[in-house]
Chains A and B, each alone.
Chain A
Amino acid sequence: MIINHPLLGPRDSQEFVYLGDAALIHRPDGMAEGALDKFIDYTYLRDNPAGTHRELWYHEQGDRSWLVVTRNTVTHEITAVELARDVARTEGRSK
């Protein structure tokens, strides 16, 4: 697979480390009500869809950026690559 890095252009997926579902960006608030149950869900449960999947890849052997890659898990086709930082800011984290 080739991942089209937003800053560096097309890179071989072998340069990256895979983490998993991009929902992991949304770590629960540890001080909130019911935080324990939310952390159990956050840590262990996954949607695991067959089809479009937004997922976190880390460019370990490159610029060490975290990316959000939108990829189809049935065809392996990649349709969008964004910097995870931009995604997190857009979705309201770490302003």
Chain B
Amino acid sequence: MRYSGFRVIAEALTGHKGWKPAWRDPAPQASYDYIIVGGGGHGLATAYYLAKEFKQARIAVLEKGWIGGGNVGRNTTIVRSNYLLDGNEPFYEFSMKLWEGLEQDFNYNAMVSQRGIINLFHTDAQRDAATRRGTAMIMHGADAELLNKDQVRAMYPFLNFENARFPIKGALMQRRGGTVRHDAVAWGYARGADSRGVDIIQNCEVLGMRIENGRVLGVDTSRGFIGAKKVGVAVAGSSSKVMAGAGMRLPMESHVLQAFVSEGLKPLIDGVITYGAGHFYVSQSDKGGLVFGGDIDGYNSYAQRGNLPVVEDVAEGGMSLMPMIGRARLLRMWGGIMDMSMDGSPIIDKTHIDGLYFNGGWCYGGFKATPASGFVFAHLLAKDIPHSTATAYRFDRFAKGLMIDEKGQGAQPNLH
């Protein structure tokens, strides 16, 4: 069923009796050509593009819980392509372009809202770094603007411009950045994949891989063995657990990142603001809640909940940047588990096992990458060669010294 304005009117006149479930609930078949492990944004996008762009068939997505119940439902919904390094920026700009056409492409309202993102700077050195980053973005075909203090003040007059220690001196702005309704991304991809014949199998946890003579034969799941010619793993947060089933150790640690939503307020922030002096960023959802977050907690965790020191740190950042946030009450907070990789950048690559492919290590930046991650992973699965925007995301970049380290922190995952 194709969704459209006409369809909404037609259904309204006939008592909304024609709506059908957006995807099927099939039982797993004995074997598939492609198994995607992980029914999150990246896994569903991979299946969607495999079927739609690369014309592959006999595809299944295996999800241990319900689709979209992991990190695609736990992020702060921001999309942007304001990266600096050559290995990253073309990929994230490719993702930005896919976001721009996504709703028409998969015929689903994902509420893509290019409301603009600003990264504030507070010193001359930060301004120079912002200029350099903006230039790198423009060279890769993205958009970037340097705003002075008065331009920022005209947009957000309530910010703490005269902070004695960290006065706001301007901002790097990407107008095409913004927010997207995160759950709808998972649902839209699921519906698009399902309608092209992909089996989305929920409550089906992968317990191990069956590997013989260096070749993957399939996966053992909570619903029995399922054979596959190719297995693609896209389970960021749990990557080390799943890949341990194939005997692999990964260059990453799992960490918890917290996010927060305030009570609903009148329209206040129409874009996304990131603080340059503390780790704090904020946007406002269409329902009115301020959505904000900060640093990861900093120790290995699979708990999906954080601890209070980071709550205090985020609150201090918020108070320092926009003091009036102190009058808003916190409605809810939650944690998600990140694959924190050794250089802060993802891995999309074949493994040393034939037929086993890996997509993970997204740190806290996976949501914005969802469309491109799915597209390039589908490209790798279907053609066995990496997509032109993802050639740097290899396993062996650590051994070869070709790290993509945006923050220059070295092999210390909790600092990225």
Taking Cβ atoms with an 8 Å cutoff, the residues of A that contact B are 1, 12-14, 18-21, 40-41, 43-50, 53, 55, 71, 73-76
B211 at the interface (CB under 8 A from A): no
B303 lies within 8 A of A46 (CB): no
Q: Which of chain A's residues have a CB closer than 8 A to the CB of B116?
A: none
Q: Which of chain B's residues have a CB closer than 8 A to the CB of A74?
A: 302-303
B190 at the interface (CB under 8 A from A): no
A48 lies within 8 A of B303 (CB): no
Which B381-401 residues have a C-beta within 8 angstroms of A?
398-399
Q: Which of chain B's residues have a CB closer than 8 A to the CB of A14?
A: 309
5 A-B pairs with least C-beta separation: A48-B240, A44-B251, A50-B302, A45-B249, A44-B398
B303 lies within 8 A of A73 (CB): yes
Q: Which of chain B's residues have a CB closer than 8 A to the CB of A53?
A: 300
With A and B bound together, what is the CA distance between A54 and B253 in angstroms?
A: 13
B303 lies within 8 A of A75 (CB): yes
Q: Which of chain A's residues have a CB closer than 8 A to the CB of B307?
A: 1, 13, 76
- Closest residue of chain A to B301 (Cβ to Cβ) is A73
Q: Which of chain A's residues have a CB closer than 8 A to the CB of B254?
A: 48, 50, 73
B300 lies within 8 A of A48 (CB): yes
Instruction: Beyond A45-B249, A48-B249, A48-B254, list 9 extra A-B contacts (CB 8 Å).
Output: A12-B309, A19-B412, A21-B300, A40-B399, A43-B411, A44-B411, A45-B251, A46-B253, A73-B301
A55 lies within 8 A of B252 (CB): no
| Residue from B253, B299, B342 with most neighbouring chain A CB atoms (10 Å) | B299
B289 at the interface (CB under 8 A from A): no
With A and B bound together, what is the CA distance between A87 and B298 in angstroms?
A: 23
Closest CB-CB distance, A20 to chain B, in whole Å? 7
Contact for A44 among B238, B301, B342, B414, CB less than 8 A:
B342
With A and B bound together, what is the CA distance between A53 and B301 in angstroms?
A: 10
Closest CB-CB distance, A69 to chain B, in whole Å? 9
With A and B bound together, what is the CA distance between A55 and B414 in angstroms?
A: 13
Closest CB-CB distance, B334 to chain A, in whole Å? 15
Q: Which of chain A's residues have a CB closer than 8 A to the CB of B251?
A: 44-46
- Closest residue of chain A to B343 (Cβ to Cβ) is A44
Closest CB-CB distance, B134 to chain A, in whole Å? 32
A46 lies within 8 A of B252 (CB): yes
Q: Which of chain A's residues have a CB closer than 8 A to the CB of B301?
A: 73, 76
Closest CB-CB distance, A80 to chain B, in whole Å? 16
With A and B bound together, what is the CA distance between A21 and B253 in angstroms?
A: 9
B250 lies within 8 A of A46 (CB): yes
With A and B bound together, what is the CA distance between A76 and B411 in angstroms?
A: 24
A40 lies within 8 A of B240 (CB): no
B302 lies within 8 A of A46 (CB): no
Interface bits B223-250 vs A (CB < 8 Å: 1, else 0)? 0000000000000001011000000011
B336 at the interface (CB under 8 A from A): no
With A and B bound together, what is the CA distance between A46 and B238 in angstroms?
A: 13
Closest CB-CB distance, A90 to chain B, in whole Å? 23
With A and B bound together, what is the CA distance between A1 and B414 in angstroms?
A: 17
With A and B bound together, what is the CA distance between A53 and B255 in angstroms?
A: 13
With A and B bound together, what is the CA distance between A45 and B303 in angstroms?
A: 21
Contact A73 B300, CB 8 Å, known A13-B309, A45-B249, A50-B241: yes
Closest CB-CB distance, A49 to chain B, in whole Å? 8
B413 at the interface (CB under 8 A from A): yes
Q: Which of chain B's residues have a CB closer than 8 A to the CB of A47?
A: 240, 249
Closest CB-CB distance, B108 to chain A, in whole Å? 33
B249 lies within 8 A of A76 (CB): no
A46 lies within 8 A of B249 (CB): yes
- Closest residue of chain B to A17 (Cβ to Cβ) is B298
Interface bits B349-360 vs A (CB < 8 Å: 1, else 0)? 000000000000
CB<8 Å pairs between A and B, sample of 22: A12-B309, A13-B309, A14-B309, A18-B299, A19-B412, A21-B300, A43-B411, A44-B251, A46-B240, A46-B250, A46-B253, A47-B249, A48-B249, A48-B250, A49-B240, A50-B254, A50-B302, A53-B300, A55-B300, A73-B301, A74-B303, A76-B303
Q: Which of chain A's residues have a CB closer than 8 A to the CB of B413?
A: 20
With A and B bound together, what is the CA distance between A13 and B252 in angstroms?
A: 22
With A and B bound together, what is the CA distance between A13 and B301 in angstroms?
A: 14
